[in-house]
Amino acid sequence: MDLYKWSKSNADYGRRLLDSGIEGARSGQEAFLKGKSLTPFLSESVRSAWMPAAFGVCIGVLGSYPGYRQKSITRVLKFGLLGGAVCLGAGFIWENRHLTASVAENALRNIGKVRDEHWLAKHPIDYA
């Protein structure tokens, strides 16, 4: 097999893997949401993540306090915003963990099917 045929074959296989993964992710999302829209689900997740964000702001402000020198207001604001952003992201991820698991599971299942088909095409089983 020359380089052109080999690269075309691998590109086609990669495209099939990508397409099957995307299709699996879509079906996982649909299975989890059960016909509902994604936007209200994500809005509710953001609303639920505000409490951890507020906690992160408090931790960031407290963490910025230097015990041995004068406190700078910009330092307090930076640490507060950083703590809030980290905890908002963590809270959002936590709220969406079941959706993410469903999407990843179905995507990996579809990719596994394509990989199995590819392996069987390369290594045919002769039962005769």
Q: State pLDDT tens for residues 44-67.
A: 999 999 999 999 999 998 888 766
In a domain, 70, yes or no: yes
Q: State how many domains the chain has.
A: 1
Residue 73 domain flag = yes
Residue 37 located in a structural domain? yes
Q: Is residue 128 part of a domain?
A: no
Mean pLDDT of 27-38: 93
Residue 51 lies in a domain: yes
C-alpha distances (whole Å) from 40 to each of 14, 35, 100, 118 are 34, 12, 16, 39
* CA–CA separation, 76 and 111 (whole Å): 47
Q: pTM to 2 decimals?
A: 0.76
Q: Which of 8-12, 73-77, 114-118, 121-125 has the highest mean pLDDT?
A: 114-118
**Cβ atoms of 46 and 92 closer than 8 Å:** yes
Tokens of 45: 């997740």
Range of the domain at 31: 3-122
Looking at residue 31, what is its pLDDT? 93
72-91: pLDDT as tens digits? 888 889 999 999 999 999 99
> What is the pLDDT averaged over residues 10-15?
91
Token readout for 38 is: 């994604």
pLDDT of residue 107: 96
